[in-house]
Structure 1
Amino acid sequence: MFMLNQTSWKQAFTAVLPLCLSYLPVGLACGMLLQKVGFTLFLTGLLSLLVFSGGAQFLIVSLLAVHASFSSIILMVFFLELRYALLGSSLSYFFKQENRGFLAIFSQSMNDENYAVNYLHFSTDVSWTHRKALMVNWLSLLAWTGSTLLGTLFGSVIAIDTELVHFALTAMFIFMFMMQLKNRLLLMIGLLSGLLAVLFVLLLKNTFGLILATVLASLIGYFVERNFTEAGKKLPAAKEEVPHE
Protein backbone atom coordinates (compact mmCIF):
# COMPACT_ATOMS: atom_id res chain seq x y z
CA MET A 1 0.00 0.00 0.00
CA PHE A 2 2.81 2.40 0.91
CA MET A 3 5.51 1.06 -1.41
CA LEU A 4 7.77 3.58 -3.09
CA ASN A 5 10.38 3.05 -5.77
CA GLN A 6 14.00 4.05 -5.24
CA THR A 7 13.61 7.39 -7.01
CA SER A 8 10.60 8.35 -4.88
CA TRP A 9 12.44 7.39 -1.70
CA LYS A 10 15.36 9.61 -2.71
CA GLN A 11 13.03 12.52 -3.45
CA ALA A 12 11.25 12.18 -0.10
CA PHE A 13 14.54 11.77 1.77
CA THR A 14 16.11 14.80 0.05
CA ALA A 15 13.04 16.92 0.86
CA VAL A 16 12.99 16.01 4.55
CA LEU A 17 16.74 15.78 5.30
CA PRO A 18 17.18 19.46 6.33
CA LEU A 19 14.18 19.10 8.61
CA CYS A 20 15.56 15.94 10.23
CA LEU A 21 18.91 17.62 10.87
CA SER A 22 17.21 20.63 12.45
CA TYR A 23 15.45 18.30 14.91
CA LEU A 24 18.72 17.06 16.42
CA PRO A 25 19.53 19.96 18.79
CA VAL A 26 15.91 20.67 19.72
CA GLY A 27 15.08 16.99 20.21
CA LEU A 28 18.19 16.45 22.34
CA ALA A 29 17.21 19.37 24.58
CA CYS A 30 13.63 18.15 24.85
CA GLY A 31 14.73 14.61 25.70
CA MET A 32 17.12 15.85 28.40
CA LEU A 33 14.40 17.94 30.01
CA LEU A 34 11.94 15.05 29.87
CA GLN A 35 14.47 12.88 31.68
CA LYS A 36 14.81 15.52 34.39
CA VAL A 37 11.07 15.39 35.16
CA GLY A 38 11.06 11.59 35.42
CA PHE A 39 10.62 10.23 31.90
CA THR A 40 12.30 6.94 30.98
CA LEU A 41 13.46 6.02 27.48
CA PHE A 42 10.22 4.12 26.92
CA LEU A 43 8.01 7.01 28.03
CA THR A 44 9.99 9.53 25.99
CA GLY A 45 9.71 7.40 22.87
CA LEU A 46 6.00 6.82 23.44
CA LEU A 47 5.33 10.52 23.98
CA SER A 48 7.32 11.51 20.88
CA LEU A 49 5.43 9.03 18.70
CA LEU A 50 1.97 9.88 20.03
CA VAL A 51 2.44 13.63 20.51
CA PHE A 52 4.62 14.60 17.56
CA SER A 53 5.02 18.22 18.56
CA GLY A 54 8.03 19.91 20.09
CA GLY A 55 5.90 22.71 21.44
CA ALA A 56 3.53 20.29 23.16
CA GLN A 57 6.36 18.25 24.65
CA PHE A 58 8.13 21.32 26.02
CA LEU A 59 4.78 22.43 27.42
CA ILE A 60 4.33 19.05 29.13
CA VAL A 61 7.79 19.35 30.70
CA SER A 62 7.00 22.85 31.94
CA LEU A 63 3.68 21.82 33.47
CA LEU A 64 5.16 18.74 35.11
CA ALA A 65 7.93 20.89 36.57
CA VAL A 66 5.30 22.97 38.43
CA HIS A 67 3.29 19.86 39.38
CA ALA A 68 0.26 20.72 37.27
CA SER A 69 -2.68 18.34 37.34
CA PHE A 70 -3.11 15.69 34.67
CA SER A 71 -6.35 17.27 33.45
CA SER A 72 -4.66 20.67 33.07
CA ILE A 73 -1.87 19.14 31.01
CA ILE A 74 -4.31 17.35 28.71
CA LEU A 75 -6.41 20.48 28.16
CA MET A 76 -3.40 22.73 27.56
CA VAL A 77 -1.96 20.33 24.99
CA PHE A 78 -5.38 20.01 23.37
CA PHE A 79 -5.76 23.75 22.87
CA LEU A 80 -2.18 24.09 21.69
CA GLU A 81 -2.62 21.37 19.08
CA LEU A 82 -5.95 22.64 17.73
CA ARG A 83 -3.96 24.42 15.01
CA TYR A 84 -3.45 21.08 13.29
CA ALA A 85 -7.12 21.06 12.35
CA LEU A 86 -6.48 24.18 10.28
CA LEU A 87 -3.24 22.83 8.81
CA GLY A 88 -4.90 19.56 7.89
CA SER A 89 -7.84 21.29 6.24
CA SER A 90 -5.49 23.23 3.96
CA LEU A 91 -3.95 19.94 2.81
CA SER A 92 -7.28 18.18 2.32
CA TYR A 93 -7.54 19.47 -1.25
CA PHE A 94 -4.61 17.23 -2.22
CA PHE A 95 -6.04 14.11 -0.52
CA LYS A 96 -9.55 13.95 -1.91
CA GLN A 97 -9.10 10.44 -3.33
CA GLU A 98 -7.52 8.87 -0.23
CA ASN A 99 -9.42 6.58 2.15
CA ARG A 100 -9.88 7.32 5.83
CA GLY A 101 -7.28 4.80 6.92
CA PHE A 102 -4.55 6.57 4.99
CA LEU A 103 -5.75 9.96 6.21
CA ALA A 104 -5.64 8.78 9.83
CA ILE A 105 -2.07 7.50 9.47
CA PHE A 106 -0.98 10.65 7.67
CA SER A 107 -2.64 12.98 10.18
CA GLN A 108 -1.09 11.22 13.18
CA SER A 109 2.42 11.85 11.81
CA MET A 110 1.87 15.44 10.67
CA ASN A 111 3.38 18.43 12.43
CA ASP A 112 4.08 22.06 11.56
CA GLU A 113 7.39 21.46 9.82
CA ASN A 114 6.57 18.46 7.63
CA TYR A 115 3.25 20.14 6.79
CA ALA A 116 5.22 23.08 5.37
CA VAL A 117 7.49 20.75 3.37
CA ASN A 118 4.57 18.80 1.92
CA TYR A 119 2.40 21.82 1.19
CA LEU A 120 5.26 23.49 -0.67
CA HIS A 121 5.88 20.39 -2.78
CA PHE A 122 2.20 19.77 -3.49
CA SER A 123 1.88 23.39 -4.63
CA THR A 124 4.98 23.47 -6.82
CA ASP A 125 5.71 19.89 -7.91
CA VAL A 126 3.09 18.01 -9.95
CA SER A 127 4.98 14.74 -9.40
CA TRP A 128 4.68 14.95 -5.62
CA THR A 129 2.47 12.09 -4.42
CA HIS A 130 0.66 11.15 -1.24
CA ARG A 131 3.12 8.32 -0.60
CA LYS A 132 6.08 10.73 -0.79
CA ALA A 133 4.28 13.05 1.60
CA LEU A 134 3.71 10.17 4.03
CA MET A 135 7.39 9.25 3.87
CA VAL A 136 8.29 12.84 4.71
CA ASN A 137 6.03 12.57 7.76
CA TRP A 138 7.43 9.23 8.89
CA LEU A 139 11.08 10.14 8.37
CA SER A 140 10.67 13.40 10.29
CA LEU A 141 8.81 11.53 13.06
CA LEU A 142 11.63 8.98 13.34
CA ALA A 143 14.25 11.75 13.39
CA TRP A 144 12.44 13.60 16.17
CA THR A 145 11.84 10.46 18.22
CA GLY A 146 15.46 9.38 17.85
CA SER A 147 16.67 12.82 18.94
CA THR A 148 14.49 12.88 22.06
CA LEU A 149 15.58 9.34 22.97
CA LEU A 150 19.22 10.36 22.71
CA GLY A 151 18.48 13.41 24.82
CA THR A 152 16.84 11.29 27.52
CA LEU A 153 19.81 8.92 27.44
CA PHE A 154 22.32 11.77 27.77
CA GLY A 155 20.16 13.50 30.36
CA SER A 156 20.95 10.77 32.88
CA VAL A 157 24.65 11.65 32.78
CA ILE A 158 24.54 15.41 32.06
CA ALA A 159 23.52 17.86 34.77
CA ILE A 160 20.89 20.33 33.55
CA ASP A 161 18.96 22.88 35.58
CA THR A 162 15.26 22.19 35.00
CA GLU A 163 14.59 25.92 35.39
CA LEU A 164 15.92 26.24 31.83
CA VAL A 165 12.71 24.72 30.50
CA HIS A 166 10.72 27.80 31.51
CA PHE A 167 13.08 30.07 29.57
CA ALA A 168 13.08 27.75 26.53
CA LEU A 169 9.30 27.44 26.50
CA THR A 170 8.74 31.17 26.89
CA ALA A 171 11.21 31.98 24.11
CA MET A 172 9.64 29.40 21.80
CA PHE A 173 6.08 30.69 22.24
CA ILE A 174 7.15 34.32 21.86
CA PHE A 175 8.74 33.33 18.56
CA MET A 176 5.60 31.45 17.46
CA PHE A 177 3.45 34.44 18.38
CA MET A 178 5.65 36.92 16.51
CA MET A 179 5.65 34.74 13.39
CA GLN A 180 1.84 34.86 13.31
CA LEU A 181 1.55 38.57 14.09
CA LYS A 182 -0.26 39.96 11.03
CA ASN A 183 -2.50 42.69 12.43
CA ARG A 184 -3.17 44.74 15.52
CA LEU A 185 -6.01 42.51 16.62
CA LEU A 186 -3.64 39.57 17.09
CA LEU A 187 -1.27 41.79 19.03
CA MET A 188 -4.05 43.04 21.32
CA ILE A 189 -5.48 39.55 21.86
CA GLY A 190 -2.03 38.21 22.62
CA LEU A 191 -1.45 40.88 25.26
CA LEU A 192 -4.95 40.35 26.65
CA SER A 193 -4.35 36.61 26.87
CA GLY A 194 -1.14 37.20 28.84
CA LEU A 195 -2.82 39.56 31.28
CA LEU A 196 -5.78 37.21 31.78
CA ALA A 197 -3.42 34.28 32.32
CA VAL A 198 -1.61 36.10 35.13
CA LEU A 199 -4.91 37.22 36.68
CA PHE A 200 -6.59 33.80 36.58
CA VAL A 201 -3.55 31.91 37.84
CA LEU A 202 -3.30 34.29 40.81
CA LEU A 203 -7.02 34.01 41.53
CA LEU A 204 -7.38 30.25 41.06
CA LYS A 205 -3.92 29.27 42.33
CA ASN A 206 -3.89 26.66 39.59
CA THR A 207 -2.60 26.26 36.02
CA PHE A 208 -6.22 25.79 34.93
CA GLY A 209 -6.26 29.59 34.82
CA LEU A 210 -4.09 29.40 31.70
CA ILE A 211 -6.80 27.41 29.97
CA LEU A 212 -9.52 29.89 30.94
CA ALA A 213 -7.38 32.78 29.72
CA THR A 214 -6.72 31.07 26.40
CA VAL A 215 -10.37 30.25 25.76
CA LEU A 216 -11.67 33.65 26.83
CA ALA A 217 -9.09 35.60 24.79
CA SER A 218 -9.74 33.41 21.74
CA LEU A 219 -13.49 33.97 21.97
CA ILE A 220 -13.02 37.73 22.28
CA GLY A 221 -10.71 37.72 19.26
CA TYR A 222 -13.18 35.62 17.26
CA PHE A 223 -16.15 37.94 17.92
CA VAL A 224 -14.12 41.10 17.26
CA GLU A 225 -12.79 39.69 13.97
CA ARG A 226 -16.28 38.54 12.94
CA ASN A 227 -17.72 41.99 13.60
CA PHE A 228 -15.00 43.57 11.48
CA THR A 229 -15.68 41.07 8.68
CA GLU A 230 -19.44 41.58 8.75
CA ALA A 231 -18.94 45.33 8.69
CA GLY A 232 -16.70 45.01 5.65
CA LYS A 233 -13.76 46.56 7.43
CA LYS A 234 -10.14 45.55 7.11
CA LEU A 235 -8.18 44.74 10.23
CA PRO A 236 -5.32 47.25 10.73
CA ALA A 237 -1.87 45.83 10.07
CA ALA A 238 0.50 45.24 12.97
CA LYS A 239 2.93 47.73 11.42
CA GLU A 240 1.84 50.63 9.27
CA GLU A 241 3.74 50.92 6.02
CA VAL A 242 5.48 54.20 5.43
CA PRO A 243 4.64 55.54 1.97
CA HIS A 244 7.58 56.00 -0.36
CA GLU A 245 8.25 59.50 -1.50
Structure 2
Amino acid sequence: MILDETKGTMSGIKSSLPIVMGYLPIGFAYGLLGVKSGFSVLQVFALSLFVYAGSAQFIAITLLSSGTNVITLIMTIFIVNLRHFLYSTSLSQYMKRIKRNYIPLLSFFITDETYAVAITDLQNSDNYDERYFYQLFFMSYAAWCTASFIGAISGTFIDGSANVGLDFALPAMYIALLLMQISGYKKIFVSIFSGLLSIGLIYVFPGNTNVIIASLIGAGMGVFLDRWKQNS
Protein backbone atom coordinates (compact mmCIF):
# COMPACT_ATOMS: atom_id res chain seq x y z
CA MET A 1 0.00 0.00 0.00
CA ILE A 2 1.47 3.36 -1.06
CA LEU A 3 -0.21 6.63 -0.10
CA ASP A 4 0.02 9.93 -1.91
CA GLU A 5 1.36 12.22 0.84
CA THR A 6 -0.17 15.35 -0.69
CA LYS A 7 -3.69 14.05 -1.15
CA GLY A 8 -3.93 11.24 1.39
CA THR A 9 -4.94 8.75 -1.29
CA MET A 10 -3.03 5.81 -2.66
CA SER A 11 -0.62 6.68 -5.43
CA GLY A 12 -1.19 4.52 -8.46
CA ILE A 13 2.00 5.85 -10.02
CA LYS A 14 4.17 4.55 -7.20
CA SER A 15 2.28 1.28 -7.05
CA SER A 16 2.88 0.78 -10.77
CA LEU A 17 6.68 0.87 -10.51
CA PRO A 18 7.14 -2.91 -9.95
CA ILE A 19 4.92 -3.57 -12.98
CA VAL A 20 6.79 -1.05 -15.10
CA MET A 21 10.12 -2.66 -14.22
CA GLY A 22 8.73 -6.09 -15.07
CA TYR A 23 7.11 -4.96 -18.31
CA LEU A 24 10.27 -3.48 -19.77
CA PRO A 25 12.10 -6.78 -20.49
CA ILE A 26 8.92 -8.70 -21.32
CA GLY A 27 7.57 -6.04 -23.68
CA PHE A 28 10.99 -5.78 -25.31
CA ALA A 29 11.06 -9.55 -25.82
CA TYR A 30 7.56 -9.48 -27.32
CA GLY A 31 8.44 -6.68 -29.75
CA LEU A 32 11.64 -8.41 -30.78
CA LEU A 33 9.91 -11.75 -31.29
CA GLY A 34 7.10 -10.12 -33.25
CA VAL A 35 9.45 -8.55 -35.80
CA LYS A 36 11.52 -11.73 -36.02
CA SER A 37 8.28 -13.65 -36.73
CA GLY A 38 7.70 -11.58 -39.87
CA PHE A 39 5.48 -8.75 -38.62
CA SER A 40 6.15 -5.07 -39.15
CA VAL A 41 6.98 -2.66 -36.34
CA LEU A 42 3.56 -1.02 -36.79
CA GLN A 43 1.72 -4.34 -36.55
CA VAL A 44 3.60 -5.38 -33.43
CA PHE A 45 3.01 -1.99 -31.79
CA ALA A 46 -0.68 -1.93 -32.77
CA LEU A 47 -1.22 -5.29 -31.07
CA SER A 48 0.08 -3.80 -27.83
CA LEU A 49 -2.08 -0.69 -28.22
CA PHE A 50 -5.36 -2.48 -28.94
CA VAL A 51 -4.98 -5.88 -27.27
CA TYR A 52 -2.72 -5.18 -24.27
CA ALA A 53 -2.47 -8.76 -23.02
CA GLY A 54 1.04 -10.16 -22.87
CA SER A 55 0.30 -13.88 -23.04
CA ALA A 56 -2.37 -13.34 -25.71
CA GLN A 57 0.03 -11.28 -27.81
CA PHE A 58 2.78 -13.88 -27.65
CA ILE A 59 0.24 -16.53 -28.65
CA ALA A 60 -1.14 -14.35 -31.44
CA ILE A 61 2.17 -13.75 -33.17
CA THR A 62 3.10 -17.43 -32.82
CA LEU A 63 -0.18 -18.67 -34.29
CA LEU A 64 -0.41 -16.05 -37.02
CA SER A 65 3.17 -16.65 -38.14
CA SER A 66 2.37 -20.37 -38.48
CA GLY A 67 -0.68 -19.68 -40.65
CA THR A 68 -3.42 -20.45 -38.10
CA ASN A 69 -6.91 -19.35 -39.14
CA VAL A 70 -8.63 -16.44 -37.41
CA ILE A 71 -11.34 -18.52 -35.69
CA THR A 72 -8.77 -20.75 -34.00
CA LEU A 73 -6.78 -17.69 -32.98
CA ILE A 74 -9.81 -15.98 -31.41
CA MET A 75 -10.94 -19.10 -29.54
CA THR A 76 -7.44 -19.77 -28.21
CA ILE A 77 -7.00 -16.24 -26.90
CA PHE A 78 -10.53 -16.29 -25.44
CA ILE A 79 -9.75 -19.43 -23.44
CA VAL A 80 -6.36 -18.10 -22.32
CA ASN A 81 -7.94 -14.84 -21.08
CA LEU A 82 -10.93 -16.40 -19.30
CA ARG A 83 -9.11 -15.69 -16.04
CA HIS A 84 -9.93 -12.01 -16.57
CA PHE A 85 -13.54 -12.77 -15.61
CA LEU A 86 -12.23 -13.74 -12.19
CA TYR A 87 -10.17 -10.57 -11.95
CA SER A 88 -13.13 -8.37 -12.88
CA THR A 89 -15.40 -10.11 -10.38
CA SER A 90 -12.84 -9.68 -7.63
CA LEU A 91 -12.25 -5.97 -8.38
CA SER A 92 -15.92 -5.12 -8.85
CA GLN A 93 -16.49 -4.76 -5.10
CA TYR A 94 -13.92 -1.95 -5.05
CA MET A 95 -15.45 -0.15 -8.02
CA LYS A 96 -18.63 0.85 -6.21
CA ARG A 97 -17.31 4.30 -5.38
CA ILE A 98 -16.07 4.82 -8.96
CA LYS A 99 -18.39 6.60 -11.39
CA ARG A 100 -20.00 4.15 -13.80
CA ASN A 101 -18.78 5.96 -16.91
CA TYR A 102 -15.16 5.27 -15.86
CA ILE A 103 -15.56 1.52 -15.47
CA PRO A 104 -15.74 0.42 -19.15
CA LEU A 105 -12.52 2.28 -19.91
CA LEU A 106 -10.72 1.07 -16.79
CA SER A 107 -11.70 -2.56 -17.46
CA PHE A 108 -9.59 -2.60 -20.62
CA PHE A 109 -6.43 -2.14 -18.54
CA ILE A 110 -6.93 -5.07 -16.17
CA THR A 111 -4.05 -7.53 -16.57
CA ASP A 112 -2.50 -10.19 -14.36
CA GLU A 113 -0.03 -7.65 -13.05
CA THR A 114 -2.31 -4.64 -12.56
CA TYR A 115 -4.87 -6.87 -10.86
CA ALA A 116 -2.29 -8.34 -8.47
CA VAL A 117 -1.02 -4.91 -7.42
CA ALA A 118 -4.49 -3.31 -7.24
CA ILE A 119 -6.10 -6.07 -5.18
CA THR A 120 -3.18 -6.00 -2.72
CA ASP A 121 -3.47 -2.22 -2.28
CA LEU A 122 -7.26 -2.17 -2.09
CA GLN A 123 -7.46 -4.90 0.52
CA ASN A 124 -5.24 -2.86 2.82
CA SER A 125 -6.69 0.62 2.40
CA ASP A 126 -9.88 2.44 1.49
CA ASN A 127 -8.08 5.70 0.63
CA TYR A 128 -8.53 5.53 -3.11
CA ASP A 129 -10.60 6.95 -5.94
CA GLU A 130 -10.61 6.74 -9.74
CA ARG A 131 -7.27 8.58 -9.86
CA TYR A 132 -5.55 5.57 -8.29
CA PHE A 133 -6.83 3.25 -11.03
CA TYR A 134 -6.00 5.64 -13.84
CA GLN A 135 -2.47 6.18 -12.55
CA LEU A 136 -1.78 2.49 -11.98
CA PHE A 137 -3.33 1.32 -15.23
CA PHE A 138 -2.03 4.04 -17.58
CA MET A 139 1.54 3.89 -16.26
CA SER A 140 1.58 0.12 -16.76
CA TYR A 141 -0.01 0.41 -20.20
CA ALA A 142 2.46 3.08 -21.29
CA ALA A 143 5.40 0.97 -20.11
CA TRP A 144 4.17 -2.10 -22.00
CA CYS A 145 3.54 -0.22 -25.25
CA THR A 146 6.85 1.65 -25.04
CA ALA A 147 8.83 -1.54 -24.34
CA SER A 148 7.04 -3.30 -27.21
CA PHE A 149 7.89 -0.50 -29.62
CA ILE A 150 11.54 -0.41 -28.56
CA GLY A 151 11.76 -4.19 -28.88
CA ALA A 152 10.20 -4.10 -32.34
CA ILE A 153 12.58 -1.36 -33.51
CA SER A 154 15.53 -3.31 -32.10
CA GLY A 155 14.35 -6.41 -33.94
CA THR A 156 14.96 -4.67 -37.26
CA PHE A 157 18.64 -4.29 -36.36
CA ILE A 158 19.36 -7.59 -34.60
CA ASP A 159 20.29 -10.52 -36.81
CA GLY A 160 19.74 -14.18 -36.02
CA SER A 161 17.54 -15.73 -33.37
CA ALA A 162 14.99 -13.71 -31.43
CA ASN A 163 15.94 -15.56 -28.27
CA VAL A 164 17.99 -13.07 -26.26
CA GLY A 165 17.68 -14.77 -22.88
CA LEU A 166 14.54 -13.00 -21.67
CA ASP A 167 12.42 -16.14 -21.33
CA PHE A 168 12.71 -15.95 -17.55
CA ALA A 169 11.17 -12.47 -17.28
CA LEU A 170 7.46 -13.39 -17.41
CA PRO A 171 7.46 -16.25 -14.86
CA ALA A 172 9.80 -14.25 -12.62
CA MET A 173 7.35 -11.34 -12.54
CA TYR A 174 4.41 -13.64 -11.82
CA ILE A 175 6.30 -15.18 -8.90
CA ALA A 176 7.13 -11.72 -7.52
CA LEU A 177 3.48 -10.62 -7.78
CA LEU A 178 2.32 -13.80 -6.05
CA LEU A 179 4.73 -13.24 -3.16
CA MET A 180 3.35 -9.71 -2.73
CA GLN A 181 -0.07 -11.16 -1.93
CA ILE A 182 0.87 -14.08 0.30
CA SER A 183 0.40 -13.45 4.00
CA GLY A 184 -0.55 -16.14 6.50
CA TYR A 185 -0.70 -19.90 6.33
CA LYS A 186 -4.07 -19.98 4.57
CA LYS A 187 -2.88 -18.06 1.52
CA ILE A 188 0.34 -20.07 1.40
CA PHE A 189 -1.64 -23.31 1.45
CA VAL A 190 -4.12 -22.16 -1.22
CA SER A 191 -1.28 -20.92 -3.45
CA ILE A 192 0.69 -24.16 -3.24
CA PHE A 193 -2.44 -26.28 -3.66
CA SER A 194 -3.61 -24.31 -6.72
CA GLY A 195 -0.16 -24.45 -8.31
CA LEU A 196 0.18 -28.21 -7.85
CA LEU A 197 -3.38 -28.77 -9.06
CA SER A 198 -2.72 -26.70 -12.20
CA ILE A 199 0.40 -28.73 -12.94
CA GLY A 200 -1.52 -31.98 -12.50
CA LEU A 201 -4.36 -30.83 -14.76
CA ILE A 202 -1.95 -30.14 -17.61
CA TYR A 203 -2.12 -33.84 -18.43
CA VAL A 204 -5.93 -33.87 -18.42
CA PHE A 205 -7.07 -30.66 -20.12
CA PRO A 206 -5.72 -29.03 -23.30
CA GLY A 207 -4.33 -25.53 -23.65
CA ASN A 208 -4.56 -23.29 -20.59
CA THR A 209 -7.82 -24.75 -19.27
CA ASN A 210 -5.88 -26.19 -16.34
CA VAL A 211 -5.15 -22.66 -15.10
CA ILE A 212 -8.83 -21.66 -15.11
CA ILE A 213 -9.98 -24.82 -13.34
CA ALA A 214 -7.21 -24.66 -10.73
CA SER A 215 -8.01 -20.97 -10.11
CA LEU A 216 -11.70 -21.67 -9.55
CA ILE A 217 -11.05 -24.61 -7.23
CA GLY A 218 -8.37 -22.68 -5.36
CA ALA A 219 -10.69 -19.68 -4.93
CA GLY A 220 -13.44 -21.99 -3.70
CA MET A 221 -11.08 -23.53 -1.18
CA GLY A 222 -10.10 -20.07 0.04
CA VAL A 223 -13.77 -19.18 0.63
CA PHE A 224 -14.34 -22.50 2.42
CA LEU A 225 -11.35 -21.92 4.70
CA ASP A 226 -12.57 -18.39 5.51
CA ARG A 227 -16.04 -19.62 6.47
CA TRP A 228 -14.63 -22.57 8.41
CA LYS A 229 -12.42 -20.19 10.40
CA GLN A 230 -15.36 -17.87 11.13
CA ASN A 231 -17.55 -20.75 12.33
CA SER A 232 -14.89 -22.45 14.42
Q: What is the aligned residue count?
A: 200
| In structure 2, distance between residues paired with 1:6 and 1:151 | 36
Contact residue 24 and residue 147 of structure 1 kept, 8 A: yes
1:30-85 residue CA offsets vs partner (Å, 9 max, x unmatched) = 00111122333332222112221211111112212322112211111111111111
| SS in structure 2 of the partner of residue 182 of structure 1 | helix
1:85 aligned residue: 85
1:190 to 202, 224, 230: 202
Moved segments of 4+, more than 4 Å = 4-10
What is the deviation of 1:161?
Answer: 2.0
Contact residue 24 and residue 147 of structure 2 kept, 8 A: yes
1:124-152 residue CA offsets vs partner (Å, 9 max, x unmatched) = 12212232122100110000000000000
Contact residue 20 and residue 144 of structure 2 kept, 8 A: yes
1:30 aligned residue: 30
TM-score, reference length from structure 2: 0.71
Deviates more, 1:40-49 or 1:84-93: 40-49
2:74 aligned residue: 74
Letter in 2 for 1:135: Q
Uncovered stretches (5+) of structure 1, i.e. residues with no partner: 198-209, 235-245
| In structure 1, distance between residues paired with 2:10 and 2:94 | 21
1:85-110 residue CA offsets vs partner (Å, 9 max, x unmatched) = 10011010011243443111111011
1:169-202 residue CA offsets vs partner (Å, 9 max, x unmatched) = 9x968x979x866256544322112xxx5xxxxx
| SS in structure 2 of the partner of residue 191 of structure 1 | coil
Letter in 2 for 1:192: V
Residue correspondence of structure 1 range 114-153 to structure 2 within 5 A? 114-153=114-153
| In structure 1, distance between residues paired with 2:109 and 2:98 | 16
The change in CA–CA distance for 1:38 and 1:6 in structure 2 (over 3 A counts) is: farther
Deviates more, 1:183-192 or 1:20-29: 183-192
| In structure 2, distance between residues paired with 1:43 and 1:7 | 40
1:57 aligned residue: 57
| In structure 1, distance between residues paired with 2:9 and 2:197 | 44
Uncovered stretches (5+) of structure 2, i.e. residues with no partner: 179-190, 226-232
Contact residue 23 and residue 147 of structure 2 kept, 8 A: yes
| In structure 2, distance between residues paired with 1:172 and 1:68 | 24
TM-score, reference length from structure 1: 0.67
Letter in 2 for 1:108: F
What is the deviation of 1:157?
Answer: 0.3
The change in CA–CA distance for 1:160 and 1:56 in structure 2 (over 3 A counts) is: farther
Identical residues among aligned pairs (%): 24
| In structure 1, distance between residues paired with 2:82 and 2:48 | 18
The change in CA–CA distance for 1:15 and 1:185 in structure 2 (over 3 A counts) is: closer
Letter in 2 for 1:70: V
| SS in structure 2 of the partner of residue 132 of structure 1 | helix
Contact residue 23 and residue 147 of structure 1 kept, 8 A: yes
Residue correspondence of structure 1 range 1-245 to structure 2 within 5 A? 7=7, 11-161=11-161, 164=163, 168=167, 182=193, 185-193=197-205, 197=206
Letter in 1 for 2:16: V
Deviates more, 1:74-83 or 1:36-45: 36-45
